[in-house]
Amino acid sequence: MMYVLVLLAIVVVFRCVQWLLDPSRISRTSLAASPADRIESMALAEARGLGIRHIHPVTRLQRRRRLIRSVITSALILVYAAVAQVLPSQLTIILAAIAGGIFTSFSAFHVFRLRPAGAIGRGTAATSRVCGIAVTLAFNTFGMWMILHAADYVEASWASPIGVALIIGGLILLNSATSPARVIERNFVTYAARLPRGATAESVYLRPFSETRIQRIAWAGAERGPISSLLRGGYTSFEEFLGTLITASGPTITLARTHGRELPLLRRPSWALLDDQWDLVAPRLLREARYIYLVAGPTYVHVPPGGGVVTTSGQYFEVSRLRAWGLLHKCLFVLPPERRDEAGLSIESFCDELGLDTTPIQHIPVETIVGFTISATGRLVAYIDSGNDWQTYPTLIDTFRNHISGREDPPSHGHWAEFADLSTGLTKQ
């Protein structure tokens, strides 16, 4: 019994520390504290012409489902731990292998979902997956064995350093069990992939040219490990996190512009194009794609030869081409969970480049905007959520895809303004 209590206490401490260090917790709390003010601001922004798509109800439901799964996973581990106490220690490795196999089988669906359209051969893909499964199984099995084996030390002394170290080490392995597998697959794909002639894909991800100011994000999904939701996962770059969500949603081609400079390791199947290659390759890919994704990154200040100061986004080149080709209506501009001033500048610079009025944006807290798009009617549409952690973005991607594909009708423009008696009538977004 003492062992189960120690295990539970360590898990609770892990979760509490990570919860306290979570920067998105404060923002979610502050935003949730004034719902009336948020409704009023959204109504005013909508009355000024901003389209609003509120995704918080869906995100909240997904949060509850992930919490339930984490509780079930923790209960399973505690049951295994209790069983390990009454069985001979020689059977610990067998129990660990069974648990590792169960965790790996559930994780495999989430881990191996990279779908670069026609990029690599079946042999390369199969090899990467076999290696990834083997490593994931090893991490899950060894991590579970460490947790179960710790019972021999904790029962003798609840403060046993070896026992506590084994539990902590096992939790760390289970928390990030799939990380080596994802690295293996990305490297296989990155080094083996070639952009085939005539390649097409459902989605095109226009990778930001610079990652230097795109922040890291805490990520605790099933893609990381069997108990990641329980222990709040770990950190990764936002660009890497978003790319994983996009490539998991369907066949994807990732493009990056190099300006003639060598790109760092992309860590996913990506193809780099020089500026003079862009207009030869990109138009066909983008026109045939159903979804186009960009990260609304930091702004850049330029001093043109004629003098003056010009502020542009990091994707000015791409945005100007997308506008000229008439493809903005199927583009999603994703905002990283940055500081408020940076997010505001990113939105305003994009609006200026697109020739859109920035006044409606000034009436709404920019930290609630997780992404925006330009509707088929030419309206600036913002996706709103009370949270800005990793759980918001899967909902954002799914909702955008549903709207573009027609599986879900976007809300009518004006319902928020109507609620606040500012309505100018319901129209199509």
Q: What is the pLDDT along the chain (429 residues), one digit of tens a residue?
A: 677 788 778 878 877 777 777 666 655 555 555 666 677 888 888 888 888 898 988 888 888 887 787 778 777 777 877 777 777 777 788 888 888 888 888 777 665 555 554 455 667 667 777 888 888 899 999 988 888 888 878 777 777 888 888 888 888 888 888 888 877 776 666 555 556 666 677 888 887 655 544 577 878 776 777 777 777 777 777 877 888 788 777 777 777 766 544 444 444 556 666 666 777 778 888 898 999 998 876 554 444 445 554 555 556 777 888 888 889 889 998 888 765 556 667 777 777 777 777 778 777 777 788 888 988 888 889 898 877 778 889 999 999 999 998 898 888 887 777 777 776 677 887
- State phi, psi for 278 to the nearest 5 degrees: -60, -50
pLDDT at 161: 86
pLDDT at 322: 86
Q: How many domains does the chain have?
A: 1
Which residues span the domain enclosing 7? Answer: 2-419
Does the residue 215 lie in any domain? yes
Largest CA-CA distance found in the chain, in angstroms, rounded:
81
Does the residue 424 lie in any domain? no
pLDDT at 400: 95
Pick from 329, 414, 332, 412: nearest CA to 376: 329
Q: Is 169 exposed, middle or buried (0-12, 13-18, 19+ CB in 10 A)?
A: middle
Does the residue 194 lie in any domain? yes
Q: What is the pLDDT of residues 41-64, one digit of tens each?
A: 888 888 888 888 989 888 888 888
Structure tokens at 289: 């794609």
Q: Is 268 exposed, middle or buried (0-12, 13-18, 19+ CB in 10 A)?
A: buried
pLDDT at 271: 66
Does the residue 425 lie in any domain? no
Pick from 51, 11, 22, 35: nearest CA to 373: 51
Pairing of β 291-295 and β 203-206: parallel
pLDDT at 396: 94
Instruction: Look up residue 336 and give its DSSP letter.
Output: P
pLDDT at 263: 45
d(CA 225, CA 228): 5
Does the residue 426 lie in any domain? no
Does the residue 329 lie in any domain? yes
Backbone dihedral region of 377: left (phi > 0), alpha (psi from -120 to 50 degrees) or beta?
alpha
d(CA 141, CA 144): 5
Neighbours of 377 (CB within 10 A): 12
Does the residue 355 lie in any domain? yes
Query: Which amino acid is it at 89?
Result: S
Pick from 332, 319, 143, 320: nearest CA to 227: 143
d(CA 43, CA 66): 31
